[in-house]
Structure 1
Amino acid sequence: MMSLQEQISQLVEELRANVASGSPLMTGEQRILAARLLTLGKLALNIEHELQFYRLEDAGRIGRATVEQLAGEAMGNMMFDTADKVVRPDFRGKRS
């Protein structure tokens, strides 16, 4: 499978060859050229969307790691706080 860059380069070379020959593009050739350019544009857009998705996914992964680290630090501080009283329920039924 050819990459997007290779396909665009191939199209440029075909156009250069046509310009060098001095013959104008016929209507059918223009339509084919327009269709190829439209297809390459759609391919480029799909690649951009895929890249955007991966960037967002990576940012989310980094964000989750940061949140987990901050939560761990907060929980660690709570666990080592010995000033709090522990309330224990009386299940024996005795009332004081």
Structure 2
Amino acid sequence: MPKRIVRPSKAQPVVASVLKTNRKVSGDIQDAALELKVVHAVLDTQVADSVRSADVNAAIERTEVLEKKLEESSQQLEDANAALESAQKELSEQVGKR
């Protein structure tokens, strides 16, 4: 398949839009991770061991796993955002040279 050539002036708004969306999603993921951290802490510290069923213990463990997964996903998205910001800057420079 032939490589499609995209002009920087046309790519620039697409990259800007994707970056804006990614930033919002990244914030949402960070918020969810923080909320899950609170839920995990409450469940882990406020539900007495003597009244915990196997399901409650599994849920407490799962909240911790999910929290870490969300934090990792958020970091990966931040890394992708940094790459997009770099691409956006390069596109801006290319458009400015024309």
| Residue 34 (structure 1) aligns with | 61
Displacement, 1:47?
Answer: 1.7
Unaligned runs of at least 5 residues, structure 2: 1-27
Question: How many Å separate the matches in 2 of 1:58 and 1:36?
Answer: 32
Question: How many Å separate the matches in 1 of 2:33 and 2:87?
Answer: 28
Normalised by the size of structure 2, how large is the TM-score?
0.50
Question: How many Å separate the matches in 2 of 1:52 and 1:43?
Answer: 14
**What is the RMSD computed on CA atoms of the aligned residues?**
3.0
The answer to whether the 8 A contact 2:37-2:63 is kept is: no
- Number of aligned residues: 69
1:43 corresponds to 2:48: no
Residues 49-87 of structure 1: per-residue CA shift (max 9 Å, x gap): 222111110011112333555xx3xx8xxxxxxxxxxxx
Question: How many Å separate the matches in 1 of 2:62 and 2:43?
Answer: 15
Question: How many Å separate the matches in 2 of 1:23 and 1:49?
Answer: 39
Displacement, 1:9?
Answer: 0.8
Unaligned runs of at least 5 residues, structure 1: 76-96
Q: Which has the higher contact order (CA 8 A, sep 6+)?
A: 2
Moved more, 7-16 or 58-67: 58-67
Decide whether aligned partners of structure 1 residues 64 and 37 sit closer, same or farther in structure 2, where only a CA change above 3 A counts.
Answer: same
Normalised by the size of structure 1, how large is the TM-score?
0.51
Residues 28-67 of structure 1: per-residue CA shift (max 9 Å, x gap): 3322222222222222222222221111100111123335
The answer to whether the 8 A contact 2:32-2:70 is kept is: no
Q: Which has the higher helix share?
A: 2
* Percent identity of equivalent pairs: 6
Decide whether aligned partners of structure 1 residues 41 and 22 sit closer, same or farther in structure 2, where only a CA change above 3 A counts.
Answer: closer
